[in-house]
Amino acid sequence: MDGKVVVVTGALGALGKVVAETAHARGARVAGVDHAASQMPATAERMEIGGVDLSDAAQAKKAIDAVAAHFGRLDVVINIAGGFAFETVAEGDAKTWQRMFALNVLTALNTSRAAIPHLSASPAGRIVNVGAMGALQAGSGMGAYAASKSGVHRLTEAMAAEWKGKITVNAVLPSTIDTAANRASMPNADFAKWVRPEELAEVILFLASDAASAVTGALLPVNGRV
């Protein structure tokens, strides 16, 4: 990761913070983009852009262009921004399906489209998306979320085919991630079986690295210890 310019969306969340910090510790210049506000002052090595709605294409482009202008180039985009909802189809709200699509698919789509002109100029352009094991077969209450994450999987495959030889595009498919929010919502679960953010960050940063130059279009399961 040494010297690479890396954008992490959802950088103020539980996983985003770990990925951004790990990439920076390994020599990357890191830009975080998030819907939440950020007070981090921009330096030659780090910057954060808060208050960005990445489901809006114009806002996504403005943020990505600002990163490229600040660092002079862009090598890696890691699309972590997203959301989760649990409700059954019959009792749920159609707006939940729209919200999941916006939070999970449009954020990755808009960020990637804005970044492609910059990534295609890099000798090792990378896009890494976050899909979900739960999107491979939706369980009860997982319809809207699984449908949106399945959209992320198909987006990953399409972009990988379209940019093969120029930009690698892959996705990690985690099972439940061990975060404070997930522990609070599922207090009786066996947390030892979940994927730790640090473990998922390792896989994400491998796909973002030069070592993964021959990997594209992959949907890589990260199952934890289930």
Domain segments of the chain as ranges: 5-222
Backbone angles phi, psi at 3, to 5 degrees: 85, -10
**C-alpha to C-alpha distance for 155 and 103, rounded to whole angstroms:** 14
What average pLDDT does this structure show over 102-123? 98
Q: What percentage of the chain has pLDDT greater than the value 70?
A: 100
What average pLDDT does this structure show over 134-156? 96
Average pLDDT score, the chain? 95
Beginning with the edge strand found earlier in the chain, give each strand of the sheet holding 46-49 in spatial order. 46-49, 29-33, 5-9, 76-79, 125-130, 167-174, 219-222
Is the Cα dihedral 208, 201, 226, 14 positive or negative?
A: negative
pLDDT at 226: 59
Q: SS3 of 218, please?
A: coil
**C-alpha to C-alpha distance for 105 and 97, rounded to whole angstroms:** 11
For 152-182, what is each residue's pLDDT tens digit? 999 999 999 999 999 999 999 999 888 888 8
Give the β-pairing of 46-49 and 167-174. Answer: unpaired
For 45-102, what is each residue's pLDDT tens digit? 999 999 999 999 999 999 999 999 999 999 999 999 999 999 999 999 999 999 999 9
Topology (CATH level 3) of domain 5-222: Rossmann fold (3.40.50)
**Burial of 5 (C-beta count, 10 Å sphere; 0-12/13-18/19+):** buried
Question: How far, in whole angstroms, is CA 212 from its chain's centroid?
Answer: 17
Nearest in space to 4 (alpha carbons), one of 212, 225, 147: 212
Write the CB contacts of 1 (distance below 8 Å, at least 6 apart in sequence): 23, 26, 27, 28, 205, 208, 209
- Full-model pTM: 0.95
Write the CB contacts of 3 (distance below 8 Å, at least 6 apart in sequence): 27, 28, 29
pLDDT beyond 80 at 225: no
Largest CA distance in the chain: 51
Alpha carbon of 1 to those of 4, 56, 60, 149, 160: distances in Å? 6, 29, 24, 27, 21
Instruction: Write the single-letter amino acid at 27.
Output: G
